[in-house]
Amino acid sequence: MISRVTRRIVFLALSPLFASCGSQHVVAPAGAQDSVTVKRGSASPGAVSNRPKAAFPESRYEFGEVLSGGVVEHDFAFINQGSAPMLIQKVSMTTPLLVTKMPHEVAPGAEGRIHFKLDTANLEGEFEGTILVFLNDPALPQANLTFAGRIVPAIELSPRPAFFVAGQRGPGNRAAIEIVNHESEPLTIEKIEHPTERFTTQLETLKRGQRYRLTLALKPDGPGGKTSDIILMRTSSKRMPVLKVGANTYLYEKVHTFPDVVEFGTWHVGDAGHAAVILMIHQEGGSDFKVQLSTDVPGLSLKSERGSKGDRYQVEITLISEKGRVGPIKGSIFIDTNDHEFPRVVVPVRGQIVER
């Protein structure tokens, strides 16, 4: 599981910011998500000089790299350099950050500390949390703080937890990912399980107990087309005894199309003329590739343009609106080529036209 952290701002206080001076309330966040409301005294209406003044020596805290599941805690300190009490009106922050302790009022010349806690149990990747502290300081009514770092899983799959491998029949193709152990205990890969008709895998030890490389090789004579499989790796880790790796493979022929199926989706009758799909036809290594196109789908228009290198065609496929009928769009596009190994390629066509 590697994904970037989804962020949203939650307010730990819901009390009005613009209440009357004699009956204002502030919220003191507790260790839970729920808010706790407390009364505060009214600010002095004295001279302009009789006011609080907040100074934050640190506005950004970087906790570096931590293992997923750990808890990061930090105090943001601030000093009231003014001549009136400093009041914290409310605090909001990116989840799952929490305030576990903070003062409601800081006297002139005194220091206040707001204690934050980040539970990384469900986090992986870069994290950058935003904290907003709302104060009664006219010069700094809102202090912006940052809580940032990187959360790594106990066992990391790099550069991503999945394979995406495409190759031509004959040459095939291969790709590799690294398995990085961030736990204190050495890691052993005990068993690797996956279907074998499309690809093979090989495990290489880079640093025993710490780093391994898993290579996936497409079988050059295996079944053609696209497939998504799962590779299971049994490990010695108590925290992550099974690692799941996606294996997305595509073995294509010398002459192939992209996409391999033309999907029009669903259109209302009368609007079908706006439906258009681009089909690419390739001959790997070709220089004098030629095709002729036909179809058994009524009302289908095919306009092709040959590429400058002579190895491909781009086909614009549209529906002729006045010939479109309510019902399924079903049939094929037939590509006749001058390649003696692949004289004809058939591409399925699917879709639907419905009443308004």
Which strand (E) or helix (H) includes residue 266?
strand 262-268
Query: How far apart are alpha carbons 352 and 344 in whole angstroms?
Result: 26
| Coil, strand or helix at 306 | strand
6 vs 122, 132, 143, 149, 208, CA distance in Å?
11, 18, 23, 14, 34
- The DSSP secondary-structure symbol of 153 reads -
User: Which of 85, 77, 136 lies closest to 112 in space, CA to CA?
Assistant: 77
Query: Dihedral, CA atoms, 114, 76, 182, 249, nearest 10 degrees?
Result: 90
Confirm if 213 and 177 have CB atoms less than 8 A apart: yes
| Coil, strand or helix at 105 | strand
Tens-digit pLDDT profile for the chain (356 aa)? 434 443 444 334 333 333 333 333 333 333 333 333 333 444 444 445 799 999 999 999 999 999 888 999 999 999 999 999 999 999 999 999 999 999 999 999 999 999 999 999 889 889 999 999 999 999 999 999 999 999 999 999 999 999 999 999 999 999 999 999 999 999 999 999 999 999 999 999 999 999 999 999 999 999 999 999 999 999 999 989 999 999 999 999 999 999 999 999 999 888 888 889 999 999 999 999 999 999 999 889 999 999 999 999 999 999 987 666 789 999 999 999 999 999 999 999 999 999 87
